[in-house]
Structures are given as C-alpha cells and as structure tokens.
C-alpha cells in the first residue's frame, strides 16, 4: 500500500476547473488500495470547503482526507503546551475556527499572548502588524501558517501569508520561529499521521518545486512534480529541489505507479 500526499490547486484542479484526467487518476490509485490525503497551504478556507469543492468537481474526497495549514498550526500549538497559550490569532475566520476546535484558548491582546498564530489575512492592518511586533519584542513566539508570497487567483496573483511574514521579519529583524505549511516537514508529518502508511511508501504529488517537492525532500519522501501548475520542466533543471519523477499530469503519475506494480 502506498500513501499519496496530493496538492490541490495546480495538481487536481486549476482555479475552479478540474484538470483533465485527475479525478480518474485518483480513483485508480484508490482502486489499487492506496491512500490519499489532500494538503493545502491556503489558510482562508476550511477543509470542509475543500471537500465540498472537490466533491462538486466530481472528485471523491472524505472530510478527513483534507488537511489545511490551519489544522496543522492548531495541532502544533497544542503540542507546544500551555505556555504558548492564550494564542493571538491574526488571520481569517477559518484559522480561528481551527484553533478553537483544537481546544486552544485565544486572546485579542498581544500583552498576554503566549504565542501568535499568523495566517493569510485579507484584512491585515497596521495595528495587527504592530500587535505581532510588540508581542515578539516581549519574547512571544510567532508561528505562521504558510510561506507563500503570492496566491494565484482568477485574474492574476494577490499577496499571501508570506508577504505578511516578510513585514514582521523586516520590522523585528529576525526570522519567524516556525512556518508550518509546505515546505515544512511539520506539514508532512501531519499528512503522514493521517495516511498511516510507512514513510518509505509515501509520495508527495504537486506542481510547485519550492513547496511540494521541497517538503518531500526535507521529509525524506518520494515526489512527483506535475506540470499542470506553476513549475515547468525547465525550472526543474534550475532548481535545488529535484523531484523523484516529473509527470505531465496526475493521470501520468497514476500510470507511472501502475507500471511500477
Ligand atoms: Mg499547487
């Protein structure tokens, strides 16, 4: 049995459009007895939203097969213990929901925060930036959901959590304590725990060298880069993040796996 940690945008669908052959490829992997989890760095939607989107596009997906950075950061903060609470959450509603669902205590006051959880926040303000920096100045750890500088949207790209991280790091003069999303192995460990498949039998499938493939490498997993999203065949040669396999699309990944059986 193999486990597949599958990226969503650029791998299964692109924006609101299902990529040709991706649904059938996932069905084929399931029929062979393999397990799948979908992972996303996006922190402004719930796993339930993704499950609905996938199902709406005709892709079989159970709620527990979708992992977002919000759940990963929540589980990580729980693991850090009581000293890291209460948590000052700077992000959108899904981040707060995930933190609460994990049983974490939240606060709106940087003065009393045990940690700060920073996610993509499309209502980010100077006051929020100030709160994070003041918390940091008194030694409070700041953990972020994902390092992506930009997020692709229908008509281009918009600033993502990575841009907010950069503002905090620039202002405070040092890197954040932790960023849990891809390429962090923290995200890979969360996916592996959900898959319950031996690490040596797990693959990461994604379209981005610097997140999906980099995570596979740091976590010691095999990886397949698909060319249906951001990265191209030419970018592989120029990158330090070499995938195990380069495939045109998810259907080609499934064919490659079938041939190997
Ligand atoms: Mg992607």
Convert the pLDDT of each residue in 192-219 to its tens digit.
999 999 999 999 999 999 999 999 999 9
Cα angle for residues 74, 193, 253 (degrees, 5° grid): 115
Is there a contact between 39 and 187 (Cβ–Cβ < 8 Å)? yes
Report d(CA 233, CA 225) in Å as an integer: 9
| CA–centroid distance, residue 34 to ligand 1 (Å) | 21
Indicate if the pLDDT at residue 15 is higher than 90.
no
Is there a contact between 73 and 184 (Cβ–Cβ < 8 Å)? no
At 113, phi and psi to the nearest 5? -70, 140
Indicate if the pLDDT at residue 89 is higher than 80.
yes
| CA–centroid distance, residue 110 to ligand 1 (Å) | 33
Is there a contact between 73 and 117 (Cβ–Cβ < 8 Å)? yes
Indicate if the pLDDT at residue 240 is higher than 80.
yes
**Four-CA torsion 211, 51, 66, 106, nearest 10 degrees:** 90
Q: Look up residue 218 and give its two tokens.
A: 């740091």
Residue 30 C-beta-side C-alpha neighbours within 13 Å: 14
| CA–centroid distance, residue 138 to ligand 1 (Å) | 36
User: Mean pLDDT, the chain, as a whole number?
Assistant: 96
pLDDT number for residue 153: 81
Q: Smallest Cα–Cα separation from 103: which of 121, 135, 79?
A: 79
Give the list of residues 6+ apart from residue 76 with CB closer than 8 angstroms, or none: 143, 178, 180, 186
| CA–centroid distance, residue 125 to ligand 1 (Å) | 27
Q: What is the DSSP letter of 9?
A: B
How long is the chain?
A: 261
| CA–centroid distance, residue 152 to ligand 1 (Å) | 9
155-160's contacts with Cβ under 8 Å and 24+ in sequence apart are 158/122, 160/120
At 199, phi and psi to the nearest 5? -50, -40
pLDDT number for residue 178: 96
| CA–centroid distance, residue 75 to ligand 1 (Å) | 23
Q: Which residue has the higher pLDDT, 152 or 42?
A: 42
Intra-chain end-to-end CA distance of the chain, in Å: 10
Report d(CA 75, CA 16) in Å as an integer: 29
Q: Look up residue 259 and give its two tokens.
A: 């041939």
Report d(CA 185, CA 187) in Å as an integer: 5
pLDDT number for residue 256: 96
pLDDT number for residue 261: 78
Q: Give per-residue pLDDT as tens, 145-197.
A: 999 999 988 788 999 999 999 999 999 999 999 999 999 999 999 999 999 99
| CA–centroid distance, residue 8 to ligand 1 (Å) | 6
Q: Which residue has the higher pLDDT, 261 or 77?
A: 77
| CA–centroid distance, residue 140 to ligand 1 (Å) | 32
pLDDT number for residue 69: 97
pLDDT number for residue 134: 98
pLDDT number for residue 155: 87
Q: Smallest Cα–Cα separation from 161: which of 179, 188, 134?
A: 179
């Amino acid at each position: 049995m193999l486990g597949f940690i599958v990226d969503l945008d650029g791998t299964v669908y692109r924006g609101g459009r299902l990529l040709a052959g991706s649904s059938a490829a996932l069905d084929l992997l399931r029929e062979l007895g393999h397990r799948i989890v979908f992972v996303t760095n996006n922190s402004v939607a719930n796993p339930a939203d993704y499950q609905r989107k996938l199902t709406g596009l005709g892709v079989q997906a159970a709620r527990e097969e979708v992992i977002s950075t919000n759940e990963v950061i929540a589980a990580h903060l729980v693991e850090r213990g009581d000293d890291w609470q209460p948590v000052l959450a700077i992000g959108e509603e899904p981040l707060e929901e995930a933190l609460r669902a994990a049983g974490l205590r939240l606060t709106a006051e940087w003065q009393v925060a045990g940690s700060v959880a920073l996610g993509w926040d499309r209502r980010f303000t100077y006051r929020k930036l100030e709160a994070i920096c003041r918390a940091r100045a008194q030694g409070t750890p700041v953990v972020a959901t994902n390092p992506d500088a930009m997020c692709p949207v229908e008509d281009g790209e918009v600033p993502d959590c990575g841009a907010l991280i950069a503002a905090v790091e620039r202002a405070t003069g040092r890197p954040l304590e932790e960023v849990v999303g891809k390429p962090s192995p923290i995200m890979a460990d969360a996916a592996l725990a959900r898959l319950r498949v031996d690490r040596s039998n797990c693959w990461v499938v994604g379209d981005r060298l610097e997140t999906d493939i980099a995570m596979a490498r740091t976590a010691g997993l095999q990886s397949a880069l698909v060319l249906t999203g951001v990265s191209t065949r030419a970018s592989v040669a120029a990158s330090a993040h070499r995938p195990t396999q380069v495939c045109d699309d998810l259907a080609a990944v499934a064919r490659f796996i079938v041939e190997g059986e």
